[in-house]
Amino acid sequence: FFPGADPSVQMVAALATFSVPFLIRPLGGLFFGMLGDKYGRQKILAITIVIMSISTFCIGLIPS
């Protein structure tokens, strides 16, 4: 994933890339949980599904 770098640097960068979602996911759970309590879980669930769909579509547009 990271051409032109030292193999050990590539390994650390790959592990850091995959560890970021595990660190951010609890914060998103707290944030969207509070929104779900305030506005209702069905509305917030629909919004999060739209956000994930847009993100997935954008990943599909990446050329390589």
Cα(31)–Cα(64) distance, integer angstroms: 33
Cα(46)–Cα(50) distance, integer angstroms: 6
With respect to residue 2, please indicate whether it lies within any of the assigned structural domains: no
Domain range spanning residue 37?
A: 7-61
With respect to residue 1, please indicate whether it lies within any of the assigned structural domains: no
Please give the mean pLDDT across all residues of the chain. 91
pLDDT at 1 over 70: no
Q: What is the pLDDT of residue 4?
A: 77
With respect to residue 29, please indicate whether it lies within any of the assigned structural domains: yes
Structural domain total, the chain: 1
Confidence at 9, pLDDT banded by 50, 70, 90: confident
The CA-atom distances, in angstroms, between 7 and each of 1, 11, 16, 17 are 11, 6, 14, 15
Q: What is the pLDDT of residue 14?
A: 87
DSSP 6: -
